[in-house]
Structures are given as C-alpha cells and as structure tokens.
Amino acid sequence: MKVLICDDEENIRKLLKRLLKLEGIDSDGAENGLSAQRMMSEERYDAVIADLRMPGLDGLSLLRWIRGEGFRVPVVMISAHGDINDAVTALKEGADDYLVKPFDPDELLIKLKGLIKAQNLINAAEGERKGEGFIGASSSAEQIRRIIERIAPSQATVLITGESGTGKEVAARMIHDLSSVSSGPFMAINIGGVPENLIESELFGYEKGAFTGADGRKPGLFELASGGTLFLDEIGDMPAALQVKILRVLQEKKITRLGGTSEIPINARIVAATNRNLEDMVREGTFREDLFYRLNVVRIRIPPLRERPSDIPVLAQAILAKYSENMGMRIKGFAPDAIEALSQHPFYGNVRELENVIERAMIFADSDMIELRDLDLRHSLGHEPSKEAGTVAEAESLRDIERNAIIRSLHRWEGNRTRSAEELGISRRTLITKIQEYGIDL
C-alpha cells in the first residue's frame, strides 16, 4: 500500500509520512500539483492526499487531472480554509473526502483505509485484479484467496464448506475464473432446490420418450458444463440413490442420459459445496463415504461472517458499490457509527443478510451517506442457524460473551491491542492470550 501526499508545507508532508509509517503504509511527498503529476506518471499509488490551495498547480486542478487521466485512486482533499463551497466543489469534481486543517489524524487514517479497501473491492468486482474475487480484509479471506489461486489451475475436485450465505458460490466462480477452463461455461445447480424426481434428469439429461413429457432430447448439466465447471451446491441434500450415480461419474468421467444406452464422455471440472457436516452424515450413514472422499480432494472452509468481523466494512463497501450502480443511486459510503453497528452485528445470515440490510438502508437513506438511523438490524436473524441448516445452535455462554466483547473492542480500536486491553480492563498480555485462545481473526 502506497500513498502520495501533495502539500506545499514541508512540515505537513513530514507529519503525514510519519503517521502513515506508524500504520505500515509507505508514502511519497510532492510539494505541488506538478510534482504530483510527474510522480503519478512514474509510480502506482493506492490513494492521494492533496492540499486544496498550493502555488503553481493547486489541489483542485490536480484532482481534475487525476480524474481526467483515468487514475482509479481515492483522493482526500485537505485545506486550512473551512469554506463549505470549497468542499462542495472538490466533492463534485470527484474527491472522495474533504478534511479541514487541523484534522484528527485517526479520522484521516480511518477514512483513508476505508477508501482504499473500497476501491480495491471495486477493482476486484470488475476483474481488474486477478485473484481478488473473494472479498475480505481478514487473514481468513486472504488465505481463501491464496488457496483458490493455488488450486484453480489444476482439475482437482473441490469441496467448499460453510454456512448458508457465506459466499460459497463466489469462491466457486473464482476457482472457475482463474482456471484453465475459464473460457468454458460455468453451470450451477442447487441440489436442495430441485425436486428429487427431477434432479437426475437435470444432471444427466434425457432422450426422447424417456418418461412422460420427454418430447425430445435434452442434454444435462454434466454435458452442458463440458469444457468448463459444474458447481453442485448443497451436495449434502443429494438423495442416497443418486449418490451412487454421481460417484460413478466422478470415477469414470462418463454419463448416460435417462432413456439412453450410449455413454457420453464428460470433462467438466466438479466443484461441490455444502452447509452440512458431511463427516457426521457419513457416520450416520446418510452420505456415502466413498463419494465424500471423491469430493473432498481439496477442501475450502469459508468461516461465517461473525468469525471475521473485519470483513464486514469491506464487504459493505463492495455491496454498496454494486447496488448503487444497479439502483442508479449515488451513495458514497457509511457514517462511522453505521459501520460500527454493522461490524458489531452477528449476521447469522452472513453476507446474504448483510446485502439485505444494506439494500434496505439505501432505499431509506436521505443523503449520500448511509447513517445509523437508516439501518434496520432489528428484524435480522437474532439466533444462530439451526441444526437443519447444518450447524449446531449453542446458547451464548460466558466464553461467547467474552469473545464477542474482545472482538467488538478490537474493531473499535482498529486492532490496537493496547487500547482494547485498557478498555476491557485487562493487561495487554492477557488480551493476546485470549485472542489466541478464542482464535480471533481480525
């Protein structure tokens, strides 16, 4: 991550450089807009901080040049003059935020990090950055991306596990997009969403006269996905009788249409997903052990959103960008208290629930920012998924309360362990021990 600081006051440049360095962010300084133009032509930056008024080429002219040249970087304008007209003009010209000197350094950092993450997400959504299709800022999200990048070029069968709404299909599509068959089709079927008597014909296809109503030949998804990827979602809901046939397909790479006699070779890559515990199902005798091992060549577990709260602000920005375009709205971001409320919410419905909350908030927003009052978290799920959804519901224990309190505190203090420990009334060493004990990932 690298930031360009453009300000004619040397002490401001030095101060901001030290501030960013403490956060592990590299930066360069430019004394005016002309220098900034040269440096941006030679170096890639993730964001720009620019003073509004400078001799030579001022900040507003630099902003116009940045947008005119097509640089996709967040720009934060700063000024010692608190004229509201300056702020309005800068924002209309494409600035992402505006701060008046002297400003709170923490506020600048929070805004800067949020803007950079949001732009990265927009780039990922548009496919500009290979391998960033699975969105998130946590180490869990980064690990998932690394695994996908590693296994995508192979033809290995992949099993993706996780609760409903965590992004299993997003991961499957990313595997396809980074694979050697990315130019081929991506076909998906939700096993649990198709009536049992129709699943077989959907997967294998049928010949004319195979059953009542079969008026012609129809290829199945295994054929249609040839040369690409077939995504079998909710594989744990597959009927026992069909499990045998799927196992044979995985072993022999051939299918026979219903009512047909000839075998048809298939070369689709298989990616399966489930929100159920297949190991438990194998022990209970409801899922074939041999099929499980055929599917479980590469395993990717996607944690629920409540285990990776640091992903919520990043996902929220990406969802906002998507719906802003689809709904023709120009909502730029979230107020700090709105982001904090989202980050503290458990979201037992995961990303799907987060999308619903944000879509509703956009409809009721009165400005270009989503405020806390626009969010309605009262009607979202207030309990963990039931056993039928593939997870074990547990009453909130003292350990749960302590773990959630630590997560909320760490998020409020942007991961600063010293400040979080002070807020929680424990030592920093104890906090670190608790983080390791609970496996907290921020």
Give the model's pLDDT for residue 114.
Answer: 80
DSSP 36: H
pTM over cut 0.75:
no
Is residue 118's pLDDT more than 80? no
pLDDT at 398: 66
Q: How many CB atoms lie within 10 A of CB 326?
A: 9
183 against 347, higher pLDDT: 347
**Whose structure tokens read 């081929």?**
184
Q: How far apart are CA 33 and CA 24, in angstroms?
A: 25
**In the predicted model, is pLDDT for residue 128 greater than 50?**
no
pLDDT exceeding 70 applies to what percent of the chain?
89
Do the beta carbons of residue 187 and residue 231 sit within 8 Å?
yes
Tell me the pLDDT tens digit for each residue of 309-324. 999 999 999 899 888 8
Report in angstroms the alpha-carbon separations of 221 from 174, 194, 266, 433.
Answer: 19, 13, 10, 50
**Sign of the dihedral defined by the CA atoms of residues 80, 84, 86, 88, in that order:** positive
pLDDT at 121: 59
Residue 130 banded pLDDT, cuts 50, 70, 90: very low
Helices of type H across 272-393: 278-284, 289-295, 311-327, 336-344, 350-364
pLDDT at 126: 46
- The pLDDT of residue 254: 93
What tens digit of pLDDT does each residue of 139-150 get? 889 899 999 999
What residue ranges define each of the domains in the chain, with the CATH number in brackets?
2-125 (3.40.50.2300), 139-301 (3.40.50.300), 305-438 (1.10.8.60)
Question: DSSP assignment of 183-215, as one string?
Answer: TS-EEEEEGGGS-HHHHHHHHHEE-TTSSTT--
Tell me how far CA of residue 198 lies from CA of 189, 220, 242, 244, 258, in angstroms. Answer: 12, 11, 11, 16, 11
Return the pLDDT at 326: 72
407 pLDDT band, cuts 50/70/90, is confident
Would the pLDDT of 47 be above 70? yes
Cα distances from 182 to residues 92, 143, 195, 338, in angstroms, run 40, 22, 30, 38
